[in-house]
Every structure is written in structure tokens, then in C-alpha cells.
Amino acid sequence: MNQPTPMSVALSGGERIAEALLAQGVRSLYTLCGGHISPILVAARARGIRVLDVRHEATAVFAADAAARLTGLPGVAVVTAGPGVSNTLTALKNAQLAQSPLVLIGGAAPTVLQKRGALQDIDQAQLVSGQVKWLRRVRRVADLGPAIAEAFAVAREGVPGPVFIECPVDLLYDETVIRGWYTEAGARGKSWADRLQRGYLQWHVARMFADRHPGTAAPVREAGQRQPARSAIEHAVAALARAERPLLLVGSQAVIDAANVDRVAAAISASQLPFYLSGMARGLLGRAHPRQLFHHRRQALRDADCVVLAGVPCDFRLDYGRHVRRSASLIVANRSRHEARLNRKPAITALGDAGLFLEALAARLARNADRGEWQAQLRGRDAGREREIARDAESPGEYVNPLALLREIDRIASDEAIFVADGGDFVATAAYTLRPRGPLRWLDPGVFGTLGVGAGFALGASANRPGAEIWLIWGDGACGFSLIEFDSFVRHGIPVIAVVGNDAGWSQIAREQVKLLGDAVGTALARTDYDRVAIALGAEGIQVRHMSEMPGALARAQTLARCGRPVLINVWLAPSGFREGSISM
């Protein structure tokens, strides 16, 4: 963490924000420019903070979200007033539901002109209040730095999530400039009303710039982690000791503390429990841990007599808790009291950090518990499903078999690869076949199922994992949300490898819609030349239509990326029934 630097009274509001960000350890921020925020961007770059500007504000927030997930430090997005803020709403809600800490800084109309019809002046607090855990509308220059420090702490503490700071434009420029603006805007006459207006404006400016004493940026406030109660851990240990068929499910919340993911991984391994990983926890123990399971999770949950959910709620992904049989002992570790009891009352509830719970649990569990038959049963099912997938990958078709494509990517991806998942059917298939190489190397939207995260996640991943091989697994529908960001990749030298699974449709929707309603309306796309769009934006583009072209295209893309070039591979997919009957509600 950087040491704060002295802050002079001469610093503008934009400079104060940049100083405060630097003190929090921020190295990159994500933005789309606007007149309301220019002083922040200029001051940030002058202090060595990398300013990555994109083509849509949602992309900036998605990038900040990815930065937070990979580093544990809140990512930062800076957007202009009005439509700049409103364009972030879906990305904010996605971060909130994914429990991802980020700081959104929004510009705003001048303080004295708000609610008077100023350009892009709306009630931004009302707009974003339901999507953030905390917001602050700053009204004095002296409060800008402290607001940043508080925002970073609040975003991380308890159940993490996004926060919002509104910074009116007249707080951001140098005091001399602002006093000049207000003098120019004031009435020039000698009437009582004119004199009153001038007096009010002078008082207003003095109030905005009051109490700007010399000092330092607001101190970093550490976010505490809640330790699960010892009694809950002891009860969990006892329940697991009695169990013959225990099962552990680990979710994103267990890896919120990015600095300690290796300790969490070691705890899972030491627990000697068979386990499934989901969300950001994918890859936590590498590609092939002997007790990690990938398939038939529903059946395993129904067979288990003791289930531990570490940072995993009983939402639609577990059929609202119905996947766990009623007679099983259910142990839940979660930072959120609401999520811990969602749809199903646990036998044992450990409120607090799921990663710390796993560490404490592993330290107390007995070693070498004899559950060989149960482990063998689970591994046998997994191996059988892998054989089925291998057979399906060999099925011929006019175009490229999606399973074969994804298995080839998994085979050749580097040890430092990060997979970014953005799409429906194609990406869900990828979840069965791609194996992240280590912790924090898988990024998907999370429970909200948001399309359009891909470009922002890839940008944030590259900025925070320089040198990593970034694979953006893109459905052809999802890529339409942010394909223009290849312009941003080129401008900022982001060497992403985007693989578009082009099956000319919203296949995840069409499959059930046609079956149930007999009409594919609204679900058909075209075999669009997405590769040519990438070329037009200055990147590399490759089109693949047949299996024989696939290995060479992937290898060429890796070479281009290693040379610093972003590349898009547009792969024409053959029809697949791999995910038949997989719709979620």
C-alpha cells in the first residue's frame, strides 16, 4: 500500500481525489471521458495511475469489477454525469449480486445549478441507491479525500459490494477557476436582487472551499474480516466426523480475500473432503486435484449425508436448496445472514468469512477418515461423464464441434491463462470443459447471469495480471454487447484472445422456446463476420469454419497475443445438443 503524500491547500478537487486513490493503492482506473470528470482523469494520469478509457460506461464498471475480484482491492470506475451514471446500472447490479467491491465515482452538475435544468443533471443518488451498499454526495472540497477513504473501506467490509461517490464538477477544478466561473455567472446590476445573488454565490463558493487545511490524504481504513464463531466450527467438525458421505461446495465468497487464496486452497486440500468449486473459486486447487469433482453435482448432493456450503447460497443453482436432501446435515458458512438462510434453514450456520471458516475447519478435522467407497463412487461418475464428453467431442458436423474447440483451448492454454466467460450456451458448455490452471483465473458474471461482461472483464484482467494469457470465451450474442471494445484493446495494447462461438443464434433460449412454444422468433442471428469487425478496429481477425482449420488458428492467435496483438477468432459452430434441457428459472 502506498504511503499518503502531503496534500497542499493548492490542490484542486480532482487532484485530491487522485491523491486519495493513490493512497489506497490504486494503479489503474477505468473511464469514459466527460466534461464533468476531466480534472480527475488528468490528475490521476499525472500521478502515474493508468487511465484506461473505453467505449461504454458499463465496460468501465465491468473492468473495475474484474480488477476487484483478482486483487481484493476495490476497482475504480469514473464516469460523467447523467447518462454516464445511468449507463452503469446493469454493471453495478451485477457487481452487487456478485459481492464484488468497487468504487464508482460519478460526475455531477455544479452544486449551485442542480435541480435547475443544468446539463445532464438528474437525481443520481435515487438512480443508483438500489444497486450500491453505500453512497455519498460530496458538497465540499475538503470532504473528497475522506469520502474516497470511507468508500474503499465500506466496499470491502462485511458483504462486499459497489459504492458510489457523486462529485459535482465545481468541486474538481482549481479554486481560482471556480471563483472566476461564479463571478462571471453572477448578476452585474446594482439592484437589491443582483447584490443578493452575488452575495449568495460568494458565500456558496466560500463554503465549498472551506476547511481545506494542509495535511495528508485520508488514512487507509482496513476492512475487518468477521471470524466465524468457534462454536459453529466445533459443531461442524462434529457433524463431519459422523458423516459417511460428506460433500463440500465452495463458491466465490470464499476467495473474496484475494491475498489469502493459497491458504484457502491448502485448507480445502487438508480437509480431505470431496469438493466442487464454483464461480471465482474455480481453479483454486489447479486442474486435477484428486478430490475435486466436476460433474453430476446434483446427484452427489442428493446422495450426501452432510453438505458444507462455503460461500454458496441455496438459490436457483441448487434448485433453491432442494438439491440437498432433507435428511442431510446442512452446514453453511457465509458473510451474509440472509444468504446463509436463503430457502433452506441450515443445521449449522457459521456467519463470517467462508475462507476463514474453511481454514478453521481443516485445522480441527480428523485426518485419514475412511471414506474410500464414497470417494470412489464420486470419482467413477466423474470419469464416466468425461468419457461421454470425449465421445461427443468427436461427433462430426458441417462446422466446428463446440466441445472439440473448447477441449483444444483447454489443452493449449498457458499455465498463466485467465478465462473470461461471457455468453449463454457456448459459455455454459465451456464450464464443463475448461479447467482454470490456478486460483483467480476464471471470471464469469455470477448469479445475475449478465451478458456483456466480457470486454470489461478482459480489460480489467489484463491490466491487473500483466503478461497473463487472456482468453475471452464469447457467445455470438454476448459479443454484440461490447465488440466495439476491440478499439479499446488496440489503443491500450490489451492482447486478449477472443473466441466467438458463432452458431448464429441465441441458442440457450431458442432450444427451449422452440420446444415449448414452436416458434424461434427473436432468437435467430446471422453468421456475421465478427473477425472482419475486429480487423476494421485495428486488431487481428481469424475465421474458422471447419475442424481442420481450428488447431492452426488457435496457435496463431496465441502467437499474435504474445506479440501484444488483440485477436478475435470467429468460429462457426455446428449444432449441438450437449446442453439439452438445461434452462434455469
pLDDT reported for residue 362: 94
Please check whether residue 430 lies inside any domain of the structure: yes
Same-domain check for residues 355 and 497: no
Judgement on whether residues 210 and 92 belong to the same structural domain of the protein: yes
- Residue 151, domain member (yes or no): yes
Q: Does residue 217 carry a pLDDT above 80?
A: no
332 lies in the same domain as 419: no
What pTM value is reported for the model?
0.94
Position 580 in a domain: no
Q: Among 95-99, 319-323, 581-585, which stretch is predicted with the lowest mean pLDDT?
A: 581-585
CATH number at residue 25: 3.40.50.970
Q: In this structure, are 154 and 34 located in the same domain?
A: yes
Is 79 strand, coil or helix? strand
* In a shared domain, residues 316 and 175: no
Check whether 213 has a pLDDT greater than 80. Answer: no
Q: Identify whether 130 is part of a domain.
A: yes
Q: Give the CATH number for residue 267.
A: 3.40.50.1220
pLDDT 10s digits, 141-179: 999 999 999 999 999 999 999 999 999 999 999 888 888
| Angstrom distance (rounded) from CA 25 to CA 340 | 32
Q: How far apart are CA 355 and CA 259, in angstroms?
A: 11
264 and 344 fall within a common domain: yes
Structurally, the chain folds into a number of domains equal to 3
pLDDT at 396: 87
Establish if 85 belongs to a structural domain.
Answer: yes
What are the residues whose beta carbons fall under 8 Å from the beta carbon of 519, sequence distance 6 or more? 513
Mean pLDDT is lowest, of 221-225, 254-258, 311-315, 392-396, for 221-225
Same domain, 161 and 248: no
Q: Is residue 56 over pLDDT 70? A: yes
CA distance 247 to 205: 63
Write the CA distances from 536 to 446, 539, 540, 559, integer angstroms.
Answer: 32, 7, 9, 20
Candidates 443, 460, 483; CA nearest to 50 is 460
Looking at the domain assignment, is residue 387 inside a domain? no
Q: Is residue 322 scored above 70 in pLDDT? A: yes
Residues 415 and 463 in one domain: yes
Same domain, 10 and 130: yes
Same domain, 539 and 567: yes
The pLDDT value recorded for residue 117 is: 78
In a domain, 446, yes or no: yes
pLDDT band at 414 (very low <50, low <70, confident <90, very high): very high
Q: What are the tens digits of pLDDT across the range 2-13? A: 444 444 457 899
pLDDT in tens, 176-201: 888 888 777 766 777 878 778 878 88
577 part of a folded domain: no
Give 531-575 pLDDT, tens digit per residue: 999 999 999 999 999 999 999 999 999 999 999 999 999 999 998
Say what the pLDDT of residue 118 is.
Answer: 75
pLDDT digits (tens, 9 = 90+) for 60-115: 999 999 999 999 999 999 999 999 999 999 999 999 999 999 999 999 988 787 77
d(CA 254, CA 574): 37
Q: Which domain holds residue 366?
A: 230-379
Residue 268: what pLDDT? 96
Q: What is the pLDDT of residue 8?
A: 43
275-285 pLDDT, tens per residue?
999 999 999 99
User: How many Å apart are CA 418 and CA 401, to the nearest integer?
Assistant: 23
Residue where one domain finishes, among candidates 379, 407, 434: 379
